């Protein structure tokens, strides 16, 4: 199990789902955490829980669609912990629906968070992880490998960050920075609550993107959230590529650049 004692870790979208699970997993492994999200009430509760258990953690309000806010989160890491070793670009949501009913603005909103939000986060922290020869993790999706009907905005955004992670992995390898793309399958998170399906996405399309077969007991899916979190933390131990398998809700792909 990788030990992150003394390392600064920034996680966006840390107030729920995979981000929240990541916060707990990195805290368990000794990391000093900067937890960023829009919902500060949830962040504050999570920070209180983690610090009560002996972890070092700070909450920072951060909307990745707003220029300058990821920079504030990075500055908090420097001010509180003196360094930033790991950046996890996790914040995201889903826009789904039939292509004929979606507008260009629907696609723009999707890309503003899922693509440009990742770009803002990485631009704000690149100098830090270069200085520490650290790690970047981008949370993608199985939808970045296999698109399904009614999922075009979400799938396009995840294909885009998959390409970004692959390109950055090559660019940063010589500087000692590793870049990881983690592509979870369908896990229990709050993406279903954030899915924008106002334009009439069929139930089956919404389920495929957000949380397929949502009637499953949450504890089963919750294990997959934890599995995704551990995949990020353990990627140095498992640098191989694991491709998503069609039809497997728990499929997970993790790709890491060579170091």
Catalytic residue positions, numbered: 154
d(CA 5, CA 114): 30
Q: 189 and 225 in contact (C-beta within 8 Å)?
A: yes
Sequence-ordered alpha helix ranges (H) in 82-217: 104-114, 116-132, 152-172, 191-194, 203-209
Q: How many CB atoms lie within 10 A of CB 18?
A: 30
Q: How many CB atoms lie within 10 A of CB 230?
A: 18
- How many Cα atoms sit within 13 Å of 18 on the Cβ side? 29
d(CA 158, CA 143): 6
């Amino acid at each position: 199990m990788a030990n992150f004692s003394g390392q600064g870790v920034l996680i966006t979208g840390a107030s729920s789902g995979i981000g929240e699970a990541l916060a707990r997993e990195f805290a368990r492994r000794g990391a000093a955490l900067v937890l960023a999200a829009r919902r500060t009430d949830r962040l504050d509760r999570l920070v209180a829980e983690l610090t009560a258990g002996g972890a070092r953690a700070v909450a920072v309000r951060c909307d990745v669609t707003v220029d300058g806010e990821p920079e504030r989160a990075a500055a908090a890491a420097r001010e509180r912990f003196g360094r930033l070793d790991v950046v996890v670009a996790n914040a995201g949501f889903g826009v789904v629906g039939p292509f004929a009913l979606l507008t260009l603005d629907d696609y723009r909103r999707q890309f503003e968070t899922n693509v440009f939000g990742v770009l803002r986060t990485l631009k704000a922290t690149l100098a830090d992880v270069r200085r520490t020869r650290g790690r970047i993790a981008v949370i993608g999706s199985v939808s970045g490998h296999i698109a399904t009907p009614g999922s075009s905005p979400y799938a396009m955004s995840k294909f885009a960050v998959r390409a970004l992670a692959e390109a950055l992995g090559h660019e940063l390898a010589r500087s000692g920075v590793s870049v990881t793309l983690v592509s979870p399958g369908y896990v229990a998170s709050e993406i279903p609550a954030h899915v924008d399906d106002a334009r009439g996405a069929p139930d089956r399309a919404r389920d495929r993107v957000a949380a397929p077969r949502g009637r499953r007991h949450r504890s089963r899916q919750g294990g997959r959230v934890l599995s995704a979190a551990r995949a990020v933390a353990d990627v140095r131990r498992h640098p191989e590529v694991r491709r998503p398998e069609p039809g497997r809700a728990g499929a997970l792909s993790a790709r890491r650049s060579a170091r």
